[in-house]
Chain A
C-alpha cells in the first residue's frame, strides 16, 4: 500500500527571525529584587515608633532574613522574653538600641530569654494601605 505523507507547500523564504522571539523576558518582580534567600526570609509588620530614626514607622512591612550574619549595629528582629522586637543590636555591650529620641537602651540581662531571629534587610512604607493578600 502506498503511504502518503502530506507535506505543506513551502516557498522556503522565511524572512528574518524576530530577535524578540529568541527568549522571553519575564516581568520585573519585587520578590526577586528584594529577597535574596526566599527560604530564609519572612515578612513582618512593625508596630510602634521606637525605630523612626532608622526610617521604620509603625505599620511598615519588614523583610527579615535569617540567612544574613548579624553584624554590630544591625537592625534586627529578636525574641525578647516571648515577644518579637525590632531594635539595633549593640553586640559589644549586649544592648538593644532604639532609634528615637528619649528611648533608653535595653541591657540584655542574665535570665532574659533572648535570641536574634533575623536581620531586617529591607523595610517597606505603605503610603496607601494594602488591598491584596499574598
Chain B
C-alpha cells in the first residue's frame, strides 16, 4: 500500500501557526515581489478571493473589501514547517518519498498497521496537527495513482474529513465515481478532452477501459494510469513527474554517508538533476531548500538540518545551485551523524520568458564564468571570488511588503509570549 500526505493550503496554513490573531480570517499569500496571489486559506476560498496568479494590484480592492490578510511569501518559515511535517509523517512508514514542499508519499513495502489503514491514516493526520499545527489530508491506496485519488477524496469529497482509504472494491468505486477526469494524476485538460471525445467521459470508464486500446489511441503513460486505477501498480518514483510549481531531487543512500565531501557530492548531484528539470520546463528558481537527515529509524536519534537559500536573482544554472549547496554543507554536516537521505528542492519558480531583469542585480547565470570562478575558489579558498549579489540580503532587492516574521529560523523573530 501507498499513502500520500499533503498539507491543506500549505503557505496560508503556515502563516496561521504563529499568528493566532489571523486564524479565523481570510489569508492570501503573494508570490515573490508581491506580484500575484499564490495561496489562499479555505476561508479566503469560500469568499472567492483565491484568484490564483492574478496580479495583486488588480484584486487589491476586492481583497480589502473582504477583510483579507495579505502576506508576502515567507519561504524560510514554509521550508521549516515543511521539514517538521515530513519528519512527523516519515515516522509512520518504513519508506517515504518527499514529492514537494507539502506532499510526501509513503511506501509501506508490504507492512500492515495492526490497527487498520483507516486508523493509521487518522493517526498521521492527528500527529501532524498536534505537533506542527498543520492541517493535512491523507489518502491511502494500493497504487500511487489510487493513493493520490484517495488523497483527493480526503479533501474534496464530502464526508471524508481529511482521510480516505481505498482498500477494497467498494471504496475504489466510490472514490473514482466521485472524481473528474482532470482530478486523476497525470490527466491534464487537453488529454481529458481527447478521452471524452472517444467516449471515455468518466474516471470509472477510464479505470475499466481496455489497456491495449488506450495505448493505441493515447500513450503508454495513459495505459499505465488505467492499470494503476484498477489497482495494478505500474508507477515507480522515477515515473512520478514533478509538479510544475516546484522541483525536488531526493534520494536515500544505499550506504550511510559520513564525510562532508561525500555529502557535498550527493547534494551537487541533486543540484544537477533538479536544475536540468528546471531548464527542461523553462523555469527559474528563486529559492532552494538544501537538506540532509539521518534515518528516522536509526537507533542513535534523528538528526536533520536544512538550509533555505534565496538566490539574489532567480536562476536555472547548475553551478549557481551547486554553489548554494557548497555553502549549505558547512552548516548541514555534523561529524558522527550517519546521513541517510539528502536532497535539493527548488521552489518559488517562475517562467523564464516572463522574467524581468533587474537593473541593479544582473543574472548570475553564466556557465563559463561559473566554471572559472569555481576554479579560482578551489585553488585559493572558498569565496575568494564570488558574485557581489551573494552578499546582499534579498530583503533589499525584493518587494516583501507584507512579510511575516521568520518565527522558527531567526532568533530575533521568535514569537513573543505574554506572561
Contact = CB atoms under 8 A, between A and B. Distances in A.
A26 to B, nearest CB: 4
B309 interface: no
A82 B69 CA distance: 14
Contacts of B417: 44-47, 62, 64, 77, 84-86
Interface residues of B, number: 33
A134 interface: yes
B87 A39 contact: yes
Contacts of B326: none
A122 to B, nearest CB: 14
B304 interface: yes
Nearest to B301: A32
B408 interface: yes
B336 A40 contact: no
A87 B18 CA distance: 18
B411 interface: yes
A132 B411 contact: yes
B222 interface: no
Nearest to A58: B419
Contact of A66 (B130, B335, B411): B130
A26 B20 contact: no
B193 interface: no
Nearest to B24: A113
A44 B415 contact: yes
B415 A83 contact: no
A39 to B, nearest CB: 4
A25 interface: yes
B179 interface: no
Contacts of A67: 130-131
A38 B21 contact: no
Interface string B261-276: 0000000000000000
Given A26-B334, A66-B130, A83 B418 contact: yes
A56 interface: yes
Contact of B84 (A25, A39, A113, A134): A39
Nearest to A120: B417
A45 B414 contact: yes
Interface in B368-419: 407-412, 414-419
A112 interface: no
B187 interface: no
Contacts of B410: 133-134
A40 B419 contact: no
Contacts of B414: 42-45
B132 interface: yes
A96 to B, nearest CB: 11
A121 B409 CA distance: 20
B418 A47 contact: yes
Nearest to A42: B408
A24 interface: yes
B408 A85 contact: no
Nearest to A54: B419
A30 to B, nearest CB: 14
B87 A26 contact: no
Interface of B: 18, 20-21, 23-24, 83-85, 87-88, 130-133, 301-302, 304, 334-337, 407-412, 414-419
Given A44-B416, A84-B416, 20 more contacts: A32-B301, A38-B304, A39-B83, A39-B131, A39-B132, A40-B84, A42-B415, A44-B417, A45-B417, A46-B417, A62-B417, A66-B133, A77-B417, A84-B417, A85-B419, A86-B418, A98-B419, A133-B411, A134-B409, A134-B411
29 contacts: A25-B336, A32-B301, A38-B84, A38-B304, A39-B83, A39-B88, A40-B84, A40-B88, A40-B132, A42-B414, A42-B415, A44-B414, A44-B415, A45-B416, A45-B417, A58-B419, A67-B130, A77-B417, A83-B418, A84-B20, A85-B418, A85-B419, A86-B419, A113-B24, A117-B20, A130-B411, A133-B411, A133-B412, A134-B409
